[in-house]
Amino acid sequence: MQLKQVQINLNAPIGQLGEVRKSHVLQALGVPFTIQPAPIPGFVAYVDPLHRRSVMLAEHQIIFIHDGENISADLRDAERTLIRTRDALLLDDRFVAGIQWIAHHEAEGAATELSVERFLRLSAPEVRALFEQGLRGIGLRFTYESPPFTCDLRIEPFYADTAFFFIQFNATHPQPLSLETILLRATEFGEYVRDEAEEVLAALLQG
């Protein structure tokens, strides 16, 4: 299982981002972060292209994203980046958080075919007949509690390259938590996706 991306969303009353505040954040983040056009309207984006990290800010939200070919579940770098952002904006250390991990798992064959053959109790011909032979693949979604977070695990073929499965994990919590707590749980969730989600997929694919 290869971790491809982590995204941490922090909701907080940031307020308006004038030029002075933008400059303070940029100075706190340091090189190689630069301000770039944001992919989401209404946000300011600070991008580190060398390490494929970004911080996006709006009046009520901070979004941290790190992607790569096989990133680590260790989020100490994310912690440093978000602490500097928090302190530059003079924010309290309480955030309503959302955490997302994305991973790929190499399929032994085509993930689309394996999903049709193994994800349901119906036979592959019976499943395909339900969709008049137009079926490409099957995805599964598991929702469960990992207190205090509600978690959502999704497994489906990676349609851009069907030699892989696409795994997406989301965790949300409606009450404010400290940044330290959020990042500790985010690291645990990343390790879960890297290690235990692979076992979930292996069990699903057993003939």
Residue burial 13-24, b: 16+ Cβ < 10 Å; e: rest: ebeebeeebeeb
Which of 4, 12, 43, 8 is closest to 172 using CA atoms?
8
- Residue type present at position 11: N
Decide if pLDDT at 25 tops 90: yes
For residue 207, the model assigns a pLDDT of: 58
Tell me the average pLDDT across 98-119.
Answer: 90
pTM for the structure as a whole: 0.90
Q: Comparing C-alpha atoms, which of 148, 164, 57, 53 is closest to residue 108? A: 164
What's the structural domain count of the chain?
1
Residue whose C-alpha is closest to residue 29's, from 85, 77, 75? 85
pLDDT in tens, 85-100: 999 999 999 999 999 9
How high does pLDDT run on average in the chain? 93
CB 174 within 8 A of CB 165: no
Encode pLDDT of 119-169 as tens digits.
887 788 888 888 887 888 999 999 999 988 999 999 999 999 999 999 999
Q: Count how many Cα atoms sit within 13 Å of the Cα of residue 34 in the half-sphere of its side chain.
A: 5
- For the record, the structure tokens of 177 come out as 């938590």
pLDDT reading at 81 higher than 90: yes
- For CA atoms 77, 182, 37, 58, give the dihedral sign: negative
Q: pLDDT above 90 covers what percent of the chain?
A: 77
On the question of pLDDT at 187 being above 80, the answer is yes
Which of 141-145, 185-189, 199-203 has the weakest average pLDDT?
199-203
Q: From start to end of the chain, where are the E strands?
A: 2-11, 34-36, 44-48, 53-58, 61-67, 96-106, 140-146, 149-157, 164-172
CA-CA-CA-CA dihedral for 163, 110, 117, 132, to nearest 10: 110
* Structural domain harbouring 69: 2-205
